[in-house]
Amino acid sequence: MAEVHSISSFMVSNCKLSQYGVDIFHDPTLYRSVVGVLQYVTLTRPELSFAVNKVCQFMAAPLDSHWALVKRILRYLMDTLFHGLLLQPTSVTKPLALRTFCDADWTSDVDDRCSTSGAAIFLGPNLISWWSRKQ
């Protein structure tokens, strides 16, 4: 992976992964190991949470298409190596604003037709809480 080109997005918008397929990944232990590391990375890189959660759903029987997404996430990390959560001081002259953003992806999972939703909560300019879950 050291010689590959980096990319600016970690997941294509119309990516539909399924647990069914014939292209079984040759080394499930490698898949689980790399995805486990990616789970750790999401502590400081919450933008990866959805994509990492998606590849975690296929740890029991990964396919080559799942491994392709894992490699795409790794290539994105190469391009954004010095990105992460940035905590900024707030202005003492302005009141603190509590802002919440949420989104839902209705029934897009091709296997179980469940939706995925998530939210991010900011206090001033800083992210203080976030979540993403399958309904």
pTM: predicted TM-score of the whole model, two decimal places: 0.65
Angle at 130 between CA 128 and CA 135, to 5 degrees: 160
Confidence of residue 70 (pLDDT cuts 50, 70, 90): very high
Structure confidence at residue 101 (pLDDT): 93
| Average pLDDT over every residue of 44-73 | 89
Confirm if 76 and 8 have CB atoms less than 8 A apart. Answer: yes
